[in-house]
Amino acid sequence: MFDIGWTEMLVIAIVMIVVVGPKDLPKMLRTFGRTTAKMRGMAADFQKQFNDALKEAELDDVKKSVDSLRSLNPAAEIRKQLNPFEQAAADVRSGV
């Protein structure tokens, strides 16, 4: 994640021991670990909420498409298109 090698970690550890002191270092590292875990949890929660909202938006689009397909009546549409042919056939029959 941070691309830190072992030598950099060693330098950071030595600086922390000098600055914080060996007595308070475990307590500080524990606090840092808990804070990091909380931040990761919040990031995961945010990502989950974002993905849920995205899925919900996609589902709304799919639902609208399904509703528009349900409102179609292909038989009525075919009858409407065939009506002029039926009238022409009736005119031909009446003329004969």
Distance (Å, rounded) from C-alpha 86 to C-alpha 91?
Answer: 9
- What are the strands, taking DSSP E only, across the chain? none
Confidence tier at 96 by pLDDT (50, 70, 90): low
Asked if the model's pLDDT at residue 76 lies above 90, the reply is no
For 19-30, how does the pLDDT look when each residue is reduced to its tens digit (9 = 90+)?
Answer: 888 898 889 889
Mean pLDDT across 12-40: 90
Q: What pLDDT shows up at residue 48? A: 94
Going by pLDDT thresholds of 50, 70 and 90, the confidence category of residue 1 is low
- Cβ-contact 55, 47 below 8 angstroms: no
What is the value of pTM for the model shown? Answer: 0.48
